[in-house]
A = this chain, B = another copy of it.
Amino acid sequence: MNIAFIGLGHMGGPMARNLIKAGHKLDVFDLVSRNVEALTAAGATPATSVQHAVARAELVVTMLPSSPHVRSVYLGADGVLAGVAAGVPLVDSSTIDPHTAREVAAAAGKHGNAMADAPVSGGTGGAEAGSLTFMVGAELALFETIRPILAQMGKNIVHCGAAGTGQVAKICNNMLLGISMIGVAEAMNLGVALGIDPKVLAGVINTSSGRCWSSDTYNPYPGVMDNVPAARGYTGGFAGELMLKDLGLATEAAKQAKQSVAMGALAQQLYQLWGAQAGGAQDFSAIINLIKHRAATGVQS
C-alpha cells in the first residue's frame, strides 16, 4: 500500500520503519531534513512538502508534537486536505486535545476523508519494537480498515469510540498516571520517613488496595525494583516534560468540559514545579525527588 507518513521524530521514525518492513511503500515528510534522510536510507521516498507526500497516498499517518502542528499539517494551505484524494483514510497518532482532534476530523469528513485519532502509549521502545498500544477514535468501519496497518506498528489496537475518543482515553489514562505516580512518591517517602523499609512498604501496597502500576511496575523509590528508571538515575523512560504536557491537555479538556479535576490540576502544578527546579528531561518518576526531605535521616516521628 502507498502510505504517506508525516512526522518522523523519536516516535514517528521507528513507526514508519516498521511499515516499510511490513512491505508498504512510504512517502515521507518532516521539517527536519535529517529525519527525512534517515527514512530515505531505510527505503522511503522523500517528499518536499506535505501536499507532495500525500499526493498518491492510499493511507496517511501523522505523528506530530502538538495541536497547532496537527491543525496546520491537515488544514494548512499546503496541508493534507489540500493534497490528498477523497476517500483516503487519515490516521493521526499525535497526542493532542480531543477538541482539536474532533475539529480536524470534521474538516476531513467534509473533504471526503474518514479520519481517526490514534494516540499511542509505549514510548520509543514500543515504537521500535512494534509493541505500541493504539487508542483509536474512529467510526467502526474506519477502525476495521486501519486496524491491520496499526497492528504492524503495535500490539494492542483498542477501539475507544467515535472520533476524539482515542485522545480522551489517552489523556484520562495519563492524568490518572500522573496523579498515582505522585501518590506513590508521597506514600513511599512518608513511609520511609516514618521508619519502614521501602521494599517492605512496596510489598504491602502491591498486595493491597493501594496497588497501582506506578507502584508495582514502575516504582519511583530507588532500590525497590530493578529495570525501572529509579534503578538507573531516572534516565530513559517517559520524560517529565511529556507528563507535564499530557496533564496540561487533561486540565484544558476538563476546563472545556466544565469538569473539576482538582487532583489532576495539582499534579500538573507539582510537575511544573519539579520541571522548573530540575528541568523536564528526567523520567517522570523522578518527581519523588521534589518532595523528598533533603535532610531526611530516617524516623522522625
Q: Which residue of B lies closest to A290 (CB)?
A: B273
Interface of A is mostly: helix
Stretch at the interface among A8-16, A140-148, A191-199: A191-199
Footprint of B on A, CB under 8 Å? 97-99, 102, 121, 133, 135, 156, 158-162, 164-165, 168-169, 172-177, 179-180, 182-184, 186-191, 193-197, 200-201, 203-205, 207-215, 217-218, 248, 250-270, 272-273, 275-277, 279, 290-296, 299-301
Chain B neighbourhood of A267, CB < 8 A = 263
Given contact pairs A179-B263, A190-B259, A268-B265, A164 touches B210 in the complex (Cβ within 8 A): no
Chain B neighbourhood of A262, CB < 8 A = 182, 186, 262, 266, 269-270, 273, 291
Do B248 and A260 touch across chains, with their CB atoms under 8 A apart? no
Can you name 8 extra interface pairs (CB under 8 A) apart from A133-B207, A160-B201, A183-B183? A156-B207, A158-B207, A172-B187, A173-B204, A209-B213, A209-B217, A258-B293, A276-B295
Bound Cα distance A160, B207 (Å): 13
Return A298 CB to nearest CB of chain B, in Å.
10
